[in-house]
């Protein structure tokens, strides 16, 4: 059976072609409204992938992925309000999060905190940010010309423009294409990391940190590296989210935000990269469907799904379906079985 996350080039190629195809074809065939919805789903898929890097690939249990997503959004919002141009703010959204993760990760991993404590610290971090962001309604809290505006959030934030052409704001359709391309890029980044030599070291650290140490690998540093990359991607997703929404409020730091990301990942399948993408799209669509003329509370559905999947389908939809197909294939197809003793 193939090792999880190992690059299977055919699958990677198929997924890439699918995403790219969607970016090119859908604007020609779908309505603006559907495109706008797909844009935000794709943003969330990028966010799901960021946790895939941190948790799925790196085994770092981050309960506060929303912290980096939200900070990315705020960084972009503050920077673009001040600069009036989006190129540098996008870079900042990524870099600042990498830096924040570096500091936080240094503190956690060099202190050799166990998984559970990493979970607590990241959770605390997002709660602190949530509380802090909520308490900035005093006009005193402003960075340059951007007021943070507390609980109400920052409204009317400039979208992304063509690099260095402040006048050329992206249209919603162009934003859709950009977001899909970003999703493709992040997906390929994940695949590249997983397939690289360092990616193998990361996988080794996740599976058995003691053995990795005994091979001479500095597991703290490996975890730190993967944490920084995952957080930077989450920051990038935050910036794309603000581009879509034109708005950012402390909600982005909320517990339910972090919970959502984990639910997408678990339902889709945390051992793969396509799984979280599928999970993000499917569950987002489900939640927005529930809001139109339904009496069922979205929390009941999300919470129920999470419990069912953790207990009954712990690997998530995609790996389960894939393995099911593979075993069917072994049973009926010409492929030879391989049992090892």
Partner 1 sequence: MLNTENLVVRFGGVFALGGVDFAMTKGEVHCLVGPNGAGKSTFFKVVTGQIAPTSGRVSLGGSDITGEGSAQIVRRGIGIKMQTPQLFDDMTVEDTIWLGAYRGRGKAHARRRTAELLDELRLGEVARAEVGKLAHGLRQRVEIASVLAGDPELILLDEPAAGMSDADVDFLAALILRLRGQHSFLVVEHDMRFIRMIADRVTVFHNGKIFLEGRSDAVLSDQGVKDIYLGKGKAHA
Partner 2 sequence: MDLVLILTLQGVVAIATILLFSIGLAIIFGMMRVINLAHGEFMMIGAYGAVKSHEAGLNLWVAMLVVAPLVAALFGLVVERVLIRHLYGRLIDTLLATWGLSLFTVGVVTMIFGNTTSGVPTPLGTLRIGDYGLGQYNLVIVGVTLLVLALVALVLKRTSAGVLARATMQNPEMIAALGYNPRRIYAATFAIGSGLAGLAGGLLAPLTGVIPAMGVAFVAKAFITVISGGAAVILGTGTAAAIYGVISQSVTYVSTSVIGEASLFLAAIILLRLLPNGFAGRFFKGGV
Partner 3 sequence: MTDTNTTTKARGSTGLSRRRFTSLLLASGVSAPAILRASGARATDSVKMAALLDLSGGLDIYGRPMLMAMEMAVEEINATGGLNGKPLELITYDTQSNMQLYAQYAQQAALQDQVDLVHGGITSSSREVIRPILNRYNTLYLYSTQYEGGVCDRNTFCTGTTPAMTSKSPIPYTIDMWGPKFYSIGADYNAPRIMSDWSRTFGEQAGGEQVANDFFPLNVTEFGALITKIQQARPDFVCSALIGAAHLGFYRQWAAAGMLSEIPIFSFTFGSGNEHMMLPPEESEGIITPCSYFQEIDSALNRDWVSRYHARYGDDAPYQNNVSIGGYEGTWLWATAVRNAGTAEREAVIEAMEAGTSWTGPGGTLTMNAANHHSSRDIFFGRCTGGAWEPFHTWENQQPSDTDGRCDLIANPGQNVQFGAE
CA distance 223 to 61: 11
Closest CB to partner 2 among residues 156, 311: 311
Binding of partner 1 by 292 (CB under 8 A): no
Shortest Å, Cβ 4 to partner 2: 17
> Which one among 3, 114, 297, 327 touches partner 3, defined by CB under 8 A?
297
Q: What is the longest distance spanned by two Cα atoms in the chain?
A: 71
Question: Which region among 34-42, 185-193, 314-322, 330-338 touches partner 3 (by CB under 8 A)?
Answer: 34-42
Binding of partner 3 by 10 (CB under 8 A): no
Binding mask 274-293 for partner 3 (x = CB under 8 A): -------------xx-xxxx
CA distance 273 to 191: 8
Retrieve residue 176's tokens: 């859709």
311: Cβ contacts below 8 Å, ≥ 6 apart: none
Contact 280, 47 (CB under 8 A): yes
> Which one among 217, 247, 290, 321 touches partner 1, defined by CB under 8 A?
217
Binding of partner 3 by 61 (CB under 8 A): no
Binding of partner 3 by 143 (CB under 8 A): no
CA distance 188 to 186: 5
Among partner 2, partner 1, partner 3, none, partner that 330 touches (CB below 5 to 8 angstroms by kind):
none
Shortest Å, Cβ 6 to partner 1: 9
Among partner 2, partner 1, partner 3, none, partner that 290 touches (CB below 5 to 8 angstroms by kind):
partner 3
Retrieve residue 324's tokens: 């099911």
CA distance 70 to 290: 25
Binding of partner 3 by 145 (CB under 8 A): no
Q: Which residues of the shown chain bind partner 2 in the complex (CB under 8 A)? A: 61, 107-108, 111-117, 119-121, 123-125, 127-128, 131-132, 134-135, 255-256, 259, 262-263, 266, 295, 297-308, 310-311, 314
CA distance 243 to 86: 10
Among partner 1, partner 3, partner 2, none, partner that 14 touches (CB below 5 to 8 angstroms by kind):
none
Shortest Å, Cβ 102 to partner 3: 29
Alpha-carbon separation of residue 173 from 23, 87, 115, 170 (angstroms): 10, 19, 41, 8
CA distance 161 to 75: 16
Provide φ and ψ at 101, rounded to 5°: -65, -35
Among partner 2, partner 3, partner 1, none, partner that 95 touches (CB below 5 to 8 angstroms by kind):
none
CA distance 138 to 252: 20
Retrieve residue 112's tokens: 């050799």
Binding of partner 3 by 169 (CB under 8 A): no
Contact 238, 252 (CB under 8 A): yes
Binding mask 147-166 for partner 3 (x = CB under 8 A): --xxxxx-xx----------
Question: Which region among 5-13, 170-178, 195-203, 315-323 touches partner 3 (by CB under 8 A)?
Answer: 170-178
């Amino acid at each position: 059976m193939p090792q999880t996350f190992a690059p299977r080039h055919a699958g990677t190629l198929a997924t890439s072609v699918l995403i790219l195809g969607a970016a090119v074809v859908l604007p020609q065939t779908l309505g603006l409204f559907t495109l706008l919805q797909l844009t935000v789903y794709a943003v969330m898929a990028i966010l799901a992938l960021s946790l895939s890097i941190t948790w799925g690939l790196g085994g770092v249990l981050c309960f506060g992925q929303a912290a980096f997503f939200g900070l990315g959004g705020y960084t972009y919002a503050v920077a673009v309000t001040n600069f009036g141009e989006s190129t540098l703010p996008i870079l900042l959204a990524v870099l600042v999060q990498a830096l924040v993760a570096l500091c936080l990760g240094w503190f956690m991993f060099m202190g050799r905190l166990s998984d559970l404590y990493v979970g607590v610290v990241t959770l605390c971090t997002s709660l602190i940010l949530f509380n802090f962001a909520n308490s900035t309604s005093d006009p005193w809290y402003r960075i340059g010309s951007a007021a943070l505006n507390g609980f109400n959030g920052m409204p009317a934030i400039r979208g992304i423009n063509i690099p260095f052409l402040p006048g050329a704001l992206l249209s919603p359709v162009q934003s859709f294409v950009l977001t899909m391309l970003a999703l493709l890029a992040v997906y390929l980044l994940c695949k590249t990391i997983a397939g690289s030599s360092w990616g193998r070291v990361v996988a080794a650290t996740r599976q058995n940190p003691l053995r990795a140490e005994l091979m001479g690998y500095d597991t703290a540093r490996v975890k730190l590296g993967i944490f920084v990359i995952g957080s930077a991607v989450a920051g990038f997703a935050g910036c794309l989210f603000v581009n879509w929404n034109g708005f950012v409020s402390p909600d982005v730091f909320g517990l339910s935000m972090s919970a959502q990301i984990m639910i997408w990942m678990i339902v889709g399948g945390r051992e793969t990269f396509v799984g979280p993408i599928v999970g993000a799209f499917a569950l987002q669509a489900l939640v927005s469907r529930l809001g139109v003329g339904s009496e069922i509370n979205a929390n009941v559905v999300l919470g129920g799904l999470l419990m069912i999947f953790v207990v009954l389908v712990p690997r998530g939809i995609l790996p389960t379906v894939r393995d099911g197909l593979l075993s069917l294939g072994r049973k009926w197809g010409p492929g030879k079985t391989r049992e090892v003793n």
